[in-house]
Amino acid sequence: MTLDVGDKAPDFDLPTDGGGSVKLSDLKGKPVVIYFYPKDMTPGCTTESCEFRDAEPDFSAVNAQIIGISKDSADRHDKFKAKHDLNFILASDENSTTCEDYGTWTEKSMYGKKFMGIERSTFVIDGDGVIRNVWRKVKVKNHVAEVLAAVKAL
């Protein structure tokens, strides 16, 4: 499935760091930034998460909620969050359902081997649950600034 700008964002209810859970429909009325990333504790994912951490006050200033989603367990998210002092929700999609719903669970290739994995992607969802921006195959450098500008433009 491929989602695009103007589509209704699929709802989800996922376990999070800290033993909690997050349901997209519970965040109605506020902008939501969902970024899908391959794996906790890896260089690119750590850089991206730390950039969202550093910009979180700017997102909060416009009432936006940041949610990072990967297939890592909620326990692993706890470790990742503590190690890097992350200040937003990390949700666990261990069975890939939400990744599939958002079209981020894709075939990848490394050193000639094909495998399934998360395509680094970001979605900005408005307060009505409609997708307003989509970035796929995200390059980490300057990405968070682009996302913040998109949220501020809502």
> For residue 76, is it within any domain?
yes
Q: With respect to residue 61, please indicate whether it lies within any of the assigned structural domains.
A: yes
Q: Is residue 7 part of a domain?
A: no
Each residue's pLDDT tens digit, 60-117? 999 999 999 999 999 999 999 999 999 999 999 999 999 999 999 998 887 888 988 9
Residue 59 domain boundaries: 30-152
pLDDT tens, residue by residue, 2-60: 899 999 999 999 999 999 999 999 999 999 999 999 999 999 999 999 999 999 999 99
Q: Which of 9, 22, 34, 45 is catalytic?
A: 45
24 is a domain residue: no
Q: What percent of the residues of the chain are helix, what percent strand, and what percent coil, each to the nearest 5?
A: 35, 30, 35
Domain CATH code at residue 147: 3.40.30.10
Q: Is 99 a catalytic residue?
A: no
The total number of structural domains that make up the chain? 1
In a domain, 140, yes or no: yes
Give this prediction's pTM: 0.95
Residue 22 resides in a domain: no
